[in-house]
Amino acid sequence: MREFKERVAVITGAASGIGRGLADRCAKEGMKVVLADIEENALIQAEEEMKATGATVMSVITDVSKEGDVKSLAEKSVDAFGDVHLLFNNAGVGGGTSAWESTVADWEWIMGVNLWGVIHCVRTFVPIMLKQQSESHIVNTASMAGLMSGPYSAIYKVTKHGVVSLSETLYHELKQKNASINVSVLCPGYIDTQIVDCERNRPAKLQNDPEIERNRREKPEYQFMEQFMRKAVQDGMSPQGTADFVFDAIKAEKFYILANPAYFKDFANMRAEDIIQERNPTNPLSAPLD
């Protein structure tokens, strides 16, 4: 896809971070933009700010972990603008601790948003796009964590590996149908977003017991990882820069969008070599890089 003016973009997780960067870039391209997010105040603010610049935009409060919310998002998008040409399945959260210490609530929340959110959007929007028979593109936000192995962030990695595999499978299936829908998977490194503070949007029914949460936050390893992540995202690529990178990839019809920083590619290559050589997984935190 090279022409964007007057076409329609739907973006989940659009009120902040990468999603907001994508929304602003879509508006800059002259697209009609549908903003979807669970954070109501931030969503309203994003819509107002974009409209003030002259953008054609609407917002829909959406919990992507709920199939009904995603179906409602699709219906409102089609009712307002007719078609959907660009779909950014971008909503995401992080959290949890080790694979065994993370609670069921941790797993349900992060899996619900990061993986089921993409599944619901694919199942809902792909039939709409197929029926349109017009050029369109889907970008699923995964992470470089979905291309590598290592300790920490077990749930996050599981979801992002799932998004990568889902995207690859979707790409092949649509090519077999000769559909006019292209697919990309965005695998960024550290981006300057609010993901470290994503607990602000965690549903009450999936909150951890306060004592469990307090004990978790008192552990030195938890404090280390939180401090590391805050510094890493603060120093990361801007959402606007990420959006520019994504649009260049869409125009070039690239599937893998490996945005910032470059050294994460070494980690992905390390995992691939572990598999090919049938050796035990290498810990990227202790392995020397070229």
190 flagged as catalytic: no
Confidence grade of residue 288 (pLDDT, cut at 50, 70, 90): low
Mean pLDDT of 46-50: 98
Task: Calculate the alpha carbon distances from 275 to 95, 149, 263 in Å.
Answer: 27, 11, 19
pTM of the model: 0.94
Confidence grade of residue 287 (pLDDT, cut at 50, 70, 90): low
pLDDT above 60: residue 136: yes
Structural domains present in the chain:
8-276 (3.40.50.720)
pLDDT of residue 228: 85
Among 174, 62, 44, residue whose Cα is nearest residue 121: 62
pLDDT of residue 224: 85
Active-site entry in 156, 222, 256, 263: 156
Task: Calculate the alpha carbon distances from 158 to 16, 104, 111, 209, 220 in Å.
Answer: 23, 14, 8, 23, 24
Q: What is the three-class DSSP state of 284?
A: coil
How far is residue 24's CA from residue 22's CA, in Å, rounded to a whole number? 6
Condensed to tens digits (0 to 9), the pLDDT of residues 149-204 reads 999 899 999 999 999 999 999 999 999 999 999 999 999 998 989 998 899 999 99
Mean pLDDT of 70-92: 98
Q: In what order do the strands lie in the sheet with 181-186?
A: 56-61, 32-37, 8-12, 86-89, 136-141, 181-186, 256-257
Confidence grade of residue 286 (pLDDT, cut at 50, 70, 90): confident
How far is residue 171's CA from residue 253's CA, in Å, rounded to a whole number? 11
Share of the chain above pLDDT 90, in %: 83
How far is residue 188's CA from residue 157's CA, in Å, rounded to a whole number? 13
Confidence grade of residue 221 (pLDDT, cut at 50, 70, 90): confident
